Structure 1
């Protein structure tokens, strides 16, 4: 059963960018941190990740000095975010001057101030209102949830949402519990309340439990830390809750064409699908190739499949530090005619 299509917000285009440096499991094994390739694959289901850091830098320093990591990085967040944005704009033929607002956010901004949206806007040569709305790995749903609940006439025709995630700069490569998880990737979405797009936003959900704020952190000037078992249990439980909330109507379950979860690790995602009754053929993911790209992960799955998205309802369930969770139900239309 399909709900009435009362969407007031549309995703017109998506874009993504992953840096060229590849951290595969064999590379991590070579760091001699007590994690061999087989152990990593069995624990998290990730085969490779991308990084803005030179592999020689990681090999020789294990990223022990975060200031040095910022200097060594081959790209800034502004540069990778702008690359994703250029793909999104090119897919629908938009020019920089067509963008009326830029909103950014994510897990590891390059600066405390200014807003990362301003640095991305400068990289793109766009002059428009630019600000950050961030909720860690749940950032994209927070941005969409906010826009969906605003007056459509108050918004510009095209809004650019960007998540520039280069979190390997914040990873201690001497700690096997965190080194095996993270990869870098940036995404961008062109959204509009006036122009129909491939993805129409039907429903959104966003919740927080601030009592768990200390379960996942990146302190200012510090490394990524998390309470792994507690966070995984939380992520599975809340993802299933979001799916039930977005996909239930009266006593019936809406039939999905696709499901995308937070790309934290593949074993967690498979557990969510089992508990939520989502068939393997409807599970869309790329975490096995890119690792945990924070707020960019789920969106990069949709962007990679942009020309081949399943037609019908697609549920996205996200979780993040804070602790936060939420999701979106999209109605995916057919690709435009060539």
Structure 2
């Protein structure tokens, strides 16, 4: 089976940083309450930025890291549930912003917090089926536009941001994936554009139960599929939803200290952007050296989940 190589990564965050203490100005909370329950200290929120500008900036950095120009890209997919417009897609707006070639397929994909992994798998399938070499895959969210900032159960959790990767097929870089969903709407949802929009709604306890169950199941499922053991995995990169979820899942898997990468303290939950933001941080910090195996796990509204094995 043809593998998938990440050639370069990039990330983009809004300039405005909102601390837990800042949030006390408009919602009944404090740093201790937020940190002890989520592990989050700060998050970035859009002011002049949009989902599109974040996606384009992350994509530009990924291209630079890959040593490619926009004209080399034959496919662009943006994973998001908070696009700037219902239509055109963020991907088409990124195509224009970056000067990607005329006539290539560009589209958005919505699998919520699992979206980047769905987009990677989709990009791999399209690269396999069509005569094109490089794809730009982006996870981008402007979640602040769907938050109720008087609801401390949700508004303290989320941040805006984007992460991107340039990928190509490569037999030297083994890849495997699994994807799933169960159609459970009631745990987390938000109405889309229309005459009666709504803020993001979430049953935190139900989401926690789902996440701490699906992460170990997805990890075990992918390890079984690849014939690997957890000891052969160098890093586990999960969607950054809550530090307690990640700690609980790591303990359930009896994972060694430090195997699960975390940066939620700096960015909060950035949905489809969280995994590519992690990968870019890790790459630029020298953690993703050749031969490293990284197991990624996403989970979110839908309910959706996904996992993939990346080899660097």
TM-score > 0.5, shorter chain as reference:
yes
Distance 1:306 1:225, change over 3 A: same
1:137 alignment partner, SS class: helix
Superposition deviation, residue 133 in structure 1: 2.2
Alpha-carbon distance in 1 for matches of 2:224, 2:126: 25
Alpha-carbon distance in 2 for matches of 1:317, 1:145: 13
1:174 alignment partner, SS class: coil
Aligned 1:58-77 pairs, distance under 5 A: 74-77=48-51
Deviations 1:49-107 (A, max 9, x none): 00113xxxxxxxxxxxxxxxxxxxx1122111110011001112211111111111212
Residue 324 of structure 1: aligned partner: 304
Residue 258 of structure 1: aligned partner: 235
Q: Does 1:35 align with 2:37?
A: no
**What value does the CA root-mean-square deviation take over the aligned residues?**
1.9
TM-score between the two structures when normalised by the length of structure 1: 0.84
Alpha-carbon distance in 2 for matches of 1:203, 1:252: 11
Residue 67 of structure 1: aligned partner: none
Q: Does 1:243 align with 2:197?
A: no
2:4–2:310 Cα contact (<8 Å) kept: no
Q: Does 1:226 align with 2:224?
A: no
Residue 176 of structure 1: aligned partner: 152
2:295–2:308 Cα contact (<8 Å) kept: yes
Alpha-carbon distance in 2 for matches of 1:293, 1:153: 31
Deviations 1:144-198 (A, max 9, x none): 22233456251411111112211112111111001110011101111112597xx
Of 3, 9, 13, 1:14 maps to: 9
Q: Does 1:303 align with 2:277?
A: no
Q: Does 1:136 align with 2:112?
A: yes
TM-score between the two structures when normalised by the length of structure 2: 0.91
2:73–2:134 Cα contact (<8 Å) kept: yes
Superposition deviation, residue 7 in structure 1: 4.2
Residue 267 of structure 2: aligned partner: 290
Q: Does 1:125 align with 2:99?
A: yes
Of 78, 83, 86, 1:109 maps to: 83
2:175 alignment partner, SS class: strand
Distance 1:156 1:252, change over 3 A: closer
Distance 1:252 1:106, change over 3 A: closer
2:137 alignment partner, SS class: strand
2:181–2:303 Cα contact (<8 Å) kept: yes
Superposition deviation, residue 253 in structure 1: 2.3
1:121–1:130 Cα contact (<8 Å) kept: yes
Residue 269 of structure 1: aligned partner: 246
Residue 335 of structure 1: aligned partner: none
Structure 2 residue runs of 5 or longer lacking an equivalent are none
Structure 1 residue runs of 5 or longer lacking an equivalent are 1-5, 54-73, 333-338
Distance 1:205 1:251, change over 3 A: closer
Alpha-carbon distance in 1 for matches of 2:54, 2:295: 26
Alpha-carbon distance in 2 for matches of 1:130, 1:330: 23
- Count of matched residue pairs: 302
Of 113, 123, 126, 1:147 maps to: 123
2:127–2:134 Cα contact (<8 Å) kept: no
Aligned 1:144-223 pairs, distance under 5 A: 144-150=120-126, 152=128, 154-193=130-169, 200-210=173-183, 212-220=184-192, 221-223=197-199
